[in-house]
Each structure stands twice: as C-alpha cells, then as structure tokens.
Amino acid sequence: MEHNPQDLSQMNPASLSATPLAILSSDGSDEQRKLAEQELQQLDQTIRLQANLIELAHDAIIVRNPASRIVSWNKGSETLYGWAAHEILGQVTHTLLDTRFPQSRHWEGELIHTCRDGRQVIVESRQVLVRDEQGRPKAILEINRDITERRLRDAKVQVLSETTRQMDEFLGIASHELRAPLTAIKGNLQLAKRQLNRMLKQDEITKEEVAGTITTIQGLLDRAERQATVQNRLVNDLIDISRIHAGRLELQVEPCDLTGIVREVVEDQRDTSPTRTILFESPTMELPVQADIDRVGQVVNNYLSNALKYSEETHPVEVHIELEGSVVRVSVRDEGPGLPPGEQERIWDRFYRAEGVEMKSGSGVGLGLGLHICRTIIEQHGGQVGVESKEGVGSTFWFTLPLAQPRGS
C-alpha cells in the first residue's frame, strides 16, 4: 500500500500490519476470490474497530513515518497538544512538539512537550519502530500519555513530606533548645536558694562568710540570667518567624547612623564575650540610613554571634563597615569552618542548618532561624544579604543598606 503525502491523513495505524491484499490481484477461482473478499471485509471491519479504539483512547497516539513525519494523529493527541490532525499531518513531531530527548529507535520514557498555546506537558511516551514484511522500517508508533497532573501531584507530595520532616525535626530541636536553658536556670536558682538557707541556719556567722556566700549567690544568679537571655533570644526568634510567616514583621524606620548601630553591637558582644577578639575599625564619619535601629542591630548581632559560635575561641572575628557607591556595606568575617557553595544558598532558608558545621563556643545549638530573619529584615529595608565563604578558611557574611539621601536633596 503506497501513500503519497496527500494521502497521509487517510493512513490508519492499523493498516501497518501486513495485509493479504496480494490475494485480490492473484488469478484464481471464483471460490478463491469470494474467500479473499470475505477475508478482506473482515479485515476492513477489524481495521475500522481498531481505528475507532485509537480515536477513543485518552492517550495521544501518533504514527510517524520513518522520516519522523506524522501520518496519524488521534483525538487524544488533539486534546493533549491542541492541534487538529489536518493542521499538522506531515510535520516532524519533534519540531512541532519541541521534543527534548536524545532520539533513538526503541524508546520508552518521559518527555516534556510544548503545546500549541505554549503550555508544557509531561508525557509518558512509548515509541516502537514498525517494520514491513521485508523488515524495512515503515513507521514509528508513538503513544503518549499525559502524566502532567500525576507528576505535579508527586512533586507536591514530596514538598509536603519534606516540610513535615523539617517541621518534626524543628519541633524536636526547638523543645530541646528551650528546655536546656530552663533546666540551667532552675538548677542555678536552687543552688542559690540552698546557699541562702544554709547561711540563714547558721547561728554564728562572720562578715567574711556572709560576703563569700553572697559572691557565690551572685555568680549563680548571673549564670541563670545568661541562660534566661539565651531563652529569650530563642523565643524572640520564634515570634519573629511567625510574624514573618504571617507577613506582619513591622519596622519602625527612622533616620539613623549605621556606624553607631554597629559600634554598639560590637561593644555589647565584647562585654558578653570578653575572651574573644573582635576587630572593628569604626569609620570616623556617620553613615546615614533609614532603618529600624533595633532590627538592624539584631542582624549585626546575629552575624556576629554566629561568627563567634562557629569559630574557635582563639580565632579573631572582624567587623567592617564601608561606603560602596550609594549603599553602605556591613560585613562580619570569621575564620570558622566555612561553607561549601551548595550550603551558601540554603542557610538563608527557614529552619536550615548546614551539615557538619559545629558550634565551637557559646551555648545553645540554634534553631536555624536567625539568618532567615536577617534576610527578611534587610530585604524589607531595601537592602541585600550574602555570604562569601570557603571551606576550611572561613566566612564573610554581609549586608547592604541604601545610603539615606541628605536632607533637602
């Protein structure tokens, strides 16, 4: 059976199977001819039935000739891709559908196709090379099932289970982190109370003994206070994160000097970590910005606390502030473990804590919320955040804020 290009639309996939048409042309008796006609009628019925089935199928069933041109295109193909058969017969499928896969003869797998309206669909494709009786390639039968919905559902389920896993992990860490300072506070208060009771029970007590006990109690209360500060920070982070999630992190923006904000945080950290070296060369000039003083201070404090807690006691941490065109840039450099490139993006995500980065000093593991909060605060100010880091060398966390326009300009 020959097909010229005009006849392509008439070609039926079922006709690709070998047919006994040769019988008709052969000389023979009437009986033989009748038999052949009957056989042909039956075959015709089968072909029609198969053609109807192909039309009914939801799958896109496409038949291509060996030159990859479309010779048959069923209703399923029309529904999936949007072109009617008469519009595209004779076209090359891969050009029409912008198929993305390395072309091969016997193939089964997933493809991404671009439909007429530009929509992308994912199809499960089965492609078979059909040969004629002589074994020559005659056509390629392509059956495409639309699995876009299924794949989207799979992706959603995956995201959901990843979020649930992160949430479970977070709850475990959060409850542990909140309980640890509480246990320490309770322990220190009990010890202080015991010291006090012992002193009160003593009939005779010298002034020196009273002074000694008071010093001990002061030490215990200091420790309890430090733990309360840790817990306060954790609770504040949790409150901030829920505000961010609800889109309700409000800023009290006012004209201020960024140098002053950074200097104050550095001085506070030097007080709380007297054993650490924090290098900071304060610029002599003011760097005016429009900012929420407490929130920007919180960002500097977070960068600095991280730099201190993830690097060795003996290693210094450097803070810089400089003018870069129309923005002011603050950076905190440490000689800690550094981060591989893949982690440098992810650490800004909510709950994310880089693998293999361990705390070297300070208390509390952290909830993986700080940097996410920092990024939100800075971006809400119209600034940017980032990190430059090299594994085994250290990290520089930075942020920028737009320099405020001088008044009257």
Q: Which residues sit at the interface with ligand ADP, rule CB under 6 A?
A: 302, 306-307, 310, 334, 336-337, 339, 347, 352-354, 357, 366-372, 395
* Helix, coil or strand: residue 344: helix
Cβ-proximal residues to 254 (8 Å cutoff; 6+ apart), any chain: 290, 291, 292, 293
Provide, rounded to whole angstroms, the least separation between the CB of residue 166 and ligand ADP. Answer: 13
Query: Distance (Å, rounded) from C-alpha 291 to C-alpha 377?
Result: 10
> Exposed (0-12), middle (13-18) or buried (19+): which is 339, by Cβ within 10 Å?
buried
Provide, rounded to whole angstroms, the least separation between the CB of residue 102 and ligand ADP. Answer: 40
Token code pair at residue 402: 């737009």
Alpha-carbon Rg of the chain, whole angstroms?
38
Is the Cβ of residue 306 or residue 400 nearer to ligand ADP in the bound state?
306
Residue nearest ligand ADP, CB atom distance: 366
Provide, rounded to whole angstroms, the least separation between the CB of residue 245 and ligand ADP. Answer: 15
Is the Cβ of residue 392 or residue 406 nearer to ligand ADP in the bound state?
392
Is the Cβ of residue 107 or residue 352 nearer to ligand ADP in the bound state?
352
Is the Cβ of residue 372 or residue 381 nearer to ligand ADP in the bound state?
372
* Helix, coil or strand: residue 251: coil
Q: Are 230 and 181 in contact, with CB atoms under 8 Å apart?
A: yes
Is the Cβ of residue 60 or residue 354 nearer to ligand ADP in the bound state?
354
The overall longest dimension of the chain from CA atoms, in Å, is: 139
CA distances from 262 to 61, 110, 251, 374 (A): 67, 54, 18, 15
Q: Are 332 and 397 in contact, with CB atoms under 8 Å apart?
A: yes
Query: Distance (Å, rounded) from C-alpha 378 to C-alpha 212?
Result: 48
Provide, rounded to whole angstroms, the least separation between the CB of residue 257 and ligand ADP. Answer: 26
Token code pair at residue 220: 């215990």
